[in-house]
């Protein structure tokens, strides 16, 4: 599936950029369909690997949608092309953020969720770069618009980020505080962030700092879980936390 970035900037180089998304994998609910969550893989991965893990979770009433990111040159890999939700260079507090790529991916995710039944609760989760994209989606939901100004169309009920960070963190607080409606949306959106203390790819400090930034911007319904000794991967106890948290926040029937 391709996505043409709907940038409205006059004469913008990025207004014609097209992103080709890969295959989407779907895990159907085994029980009553009560929630749909789009789950986003990390850099260089695809939707298939996570769909297999998610299918094994004791959450029979969740439908999981696992898309595959576009293949694009990635700065942190010296321009080598691989699957990535957006371009990223070295992680730093003052580094540039690829808002064009982020907006394209977040719009693709919203399109996947927009066809779900009206009575189904919607969420976004992910690992590493996928977690970063999920958190950016949270800020778009709160503001009611993408970074390019187009309307964000989906009512989110849950955000999960494992081993990730918040892109565009420098400006989030100002954007949320400037609108009463944005502040209301931010305060009502449940967010779970998990991070390993020994993460060698996305250092723990970025997960911790993202939590502080989101909280200061008005995202009050936020839980941050630190996993001592955990590197840049997930473990059963972390996924157990995800299951318990989703069950509590979405009040799913028949989940243990």
> For residues 191 and 169, what is the distance between their CA atoms, to the nearest angstrom?
16
β-strands 121-127, 191-196: how paired? unpaired
CB hemisphere CA count around 206 (13 angstroms): 26
The alpha-carbon radius of gyration of the chain (Å, integer) is: 17
Which entry of 7, 105, 128, 163 is annotated as an active-site residue?
128
Q: What are phi and psi of 59, to 5 degrees?
A: -130, 75
- Residue 232 catalytic? yes
Measured CA angle at 112 (ends 111, 115), to 5 deg: 85
Q: End-to-end distance of the chain based on CA atoms, in angstroms?
A: 36
Helix-then-strand count for the chain, H and E: 7, 11
- Write the CB contacts of 44 (distance below 8 Å, at least 6 apart in sequence): 82, 83, 84
Shortest CA distance to 109 belongs to which of 70, 167, 49, 67? 67
Which one is catalytic: 7, 41, 199, 210?
199
What DSSP letter does each residue of 145-165 carry, written as one string?
B-TTSPBP---EEEEEEES--
Neighbouring C-beta atoms of residue 23, cutoff 10 Å: 11
Task: For residues 225 and 196, give the distance between their C-alpha atoms in angstroms, rounded to a whole number.
Answer: 9
- Has 33 been annotated as catalytic? no
Question: Looking at 33, 49, 179, 232, which residue is catalytic?
Answer: 232
Quick check: is 195 catalytic?
A: no
Residues tagged active-site: 128, 199, 232
């Amino acid at each position: 599936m391709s996505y043409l970035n709907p940038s409205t900037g006059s004469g913008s180089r990025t207004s014609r950029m097209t992103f080709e998304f890969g295959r989407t994998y779907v895990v159907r609910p085994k029980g009553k369909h009560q929630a749909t969550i789009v789950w986003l893989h990390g850099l260089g991965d695809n939707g298939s690997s996570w769909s297999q893990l998610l299918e094994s979770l004791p959450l029979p009433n969740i439908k999981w949608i696992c898309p595959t990111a576009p293949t694009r040159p990635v700065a942190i890999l010296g321009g080598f092309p691989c699957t990535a939700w957006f371009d990223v260079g070295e992680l730093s507090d003052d580094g540039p953020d690829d808002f064009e790529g982020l907006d394209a991916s977040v719009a693709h995710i919203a399109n996947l969720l927009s066809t779900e039944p009206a009575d189904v609760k919607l969420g976004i989760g992910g690992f590493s770069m996928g977690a970063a994209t999920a958190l950016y989606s949270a800020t778009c939901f709160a503001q009611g618009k993408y970074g390019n100004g187009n309307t964000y169309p989906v009512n989110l009920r849950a955000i999960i980020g494992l081993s990730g960070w918040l892109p565009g963190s420098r400006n989030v607080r100002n954007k949320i505080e400037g609108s009463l409606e944005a502040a209301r949306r931010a305060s009502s959106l449940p967010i779970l962030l998990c991070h390993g203390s020994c993460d060698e790819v996305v250092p723990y400090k970025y997960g911790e700092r993202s939590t502080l930034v989101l909280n200061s911007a008005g995202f009050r319904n936020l839980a941050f879980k630190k996993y001592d000794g955990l590197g840049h991967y997930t473990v059963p106890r972390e996924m157990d936390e995800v299951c318990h948290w989703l069950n509590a926040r979405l009040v799913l029937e028949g989940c243990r």
